[in-house]
Amino acid sequence: QSALTQPPSASGSPGQSVTISCTGTSSDVGGYNYVSWYQQHPGKAPKLMIYEVSKRPSGVPDRFSGSKSGNTASLTVSGLQAEDEADYYCSSYAGSNNRNVFGTGTKVTVL
């Protein structure tokens, strides 16, 4: 099972928006509405930001939103803040055999 494809980096100024893509296939992203997104600061464990494509766990700011079209999912961070600077990973259910596959990761820089 290959990793989902994400851009290596993305950036924006404070207050701006940044969108990260996550491209898979019809066997994972395109086949199920089970895409999740994780934020990871250096030296820390990942934190769940979005699940089931567009749902936010309690405590996650509504500046974070998710969507999906075909085989590509997206995470948008609106109103960028300094603390949003981190690595972001997508993940998708990929069927009973492979179950979970992660994306390659995107480093978001707040300029």
Partner 1 sequence: QVQLVQSGAEVKKPGASVKVSCKVSGYTLTELSMHWVRQAPGKGLEWMGGFDPEDGETIYAQKFQGRVTMTEDTSTDTAYMELSSLRSEDTAVYYCATEDTYYFDYWGQGTLVTVSS
Gap between the terminal Cα atoms of the chain: 35
CB of 13 to partner 1, least distance (A): 26
Quick one: 19 or 60, whose CB is closer to partner 1? 60
Give the C-alpha separation, 43 to 20, whole Å.
22
In sequence order, which residues have a C-beta less than 8 Å from that of residue 19 and are 6 or more positions away? Answer: 10, 74, 75, 76, 77
100 within 8 A of 1, measured Cβ to Cβ = no
Q: Which of residues 27-66 bind partner 1 (CB under 8 A)?
A: 32, 34, 36, 38, 45-48, 51-52, 57
Q: How far apart are CA 109 and CA 111, in angstroms?
A: 6
Q: Which of 3, 7, 50, 4 is nearest to 23 (CA)?
A: 4
**How many chain residues are in contact with partner 1, going by CB under 8 A?**
27
Least distance (Å) between residue 10 CB and partner 1:
15
Query: Per CB under 8 A, does 82 bind partner 1?
Result: no
89 binds partner 1 (CB under 8 A): yes
Q: Binding of partner 1 at residue 93 (CB under 8 A)? A: yes
Q: Which residues bind partner 1 (CB under 8 A)?
A: 1, 3, 32, 34, 36, 38, 45-48, 51-52, 57, 89, 91-93, 96-105
